[in-house]
Amino acid sequence: MTEHNPHLEYQSVNVGAAHMCGHDGYMTSLVGFGILMQQAHHLLPPHTCVRSVFQPAEEGGFGAVEMIKGGCLDGVDEIYGYHNGPFPLVRFSILLQGPGGHGSAPHKPKIPFRNVSAQESAVISITQVHGGKADNVIPSQVKLSGTIRDMNPDVFSVIEVRLNRIVEHTAAAFGVNGTLNIVDGYPVTKS
């Protein structure tokens, strides 16, 4: 996405690029670690090789696999990683399907949290909604997607059950089919 944060002195000047996520933090901290390791190389055992690995496409869960296939871990005895967010990231999508139709006849298609303890936290964000290709045609399918962020597997279980029920019953109430697909991300690393 293109950045629109003129108040930032480091605002990206490139179309399609922005400082919107923790990726800048990953890059900065790994470069900093590399500088520290270079300065402390005399403290390491002889012939020690330290390799810094910048993983592309980490949010999709396939960047590391491709890098490993490409040989980034060849000759590596140990590897350490981290995520600069204190929570696991879980992606979800909701597919709603029902009869479509022309905008001149909207009557022909059928008419279309309080479950988490105050001591816990969770954030459910609907970040994308896609449906239709023309302004005068009611789409037969709309897809919503987003993320779930929480710190407790028990909270996630409650969210998963509630989200399934909301999708199922809301879709049924409007005479359409609703499907929830949850793609679990990497679990948070706790020390």
Percent of the chain with pLDDT over 70: 82
CA–CA distance, 134 with 116 (Å, rounded to integer): 39
3-state SS assignment for residue 169:
helix
In terms of Cα–Cα distance, which of 77, 81, 71 is closest to 48? 77
Domain of 135: which CATH number?
A: 3.30.70.360
- Answer yes or no: is 189 within a domain: no
Query: Do residue 121 and residue 179 come from a single domain?
Result: yes
Q: How confident is the model at residue 189 (pLDDT cuts 50, 70, 90)?
A: low
pLDDT at site 21: 66
- End-to-end Cα spacing for the chain: 34
Within a domain: residue 27? Answer: yes
Please tell me the total count of domains within the chain: 2
Domain-ending residue, one of 69, 84, 99: 84
Whether residue 72 is found in the same domain as residue 94? no
For residue 173, what are the domain limits? 89-183
pLDDT value for 61: 67
Q: Is the domain of 173 the same as that of 93?
A: yes
CA distance 27 to 6: 22
- CB-based contacts of 173, cutoff 8 Å, min separation 6: none
pLDDT averaged over every residue in the chain: 81
At 29-62, the pLDDT tens digits run: 889 998 998 999 899 888 888 888 887 776 666 7
Same domain, 65 and 114: no
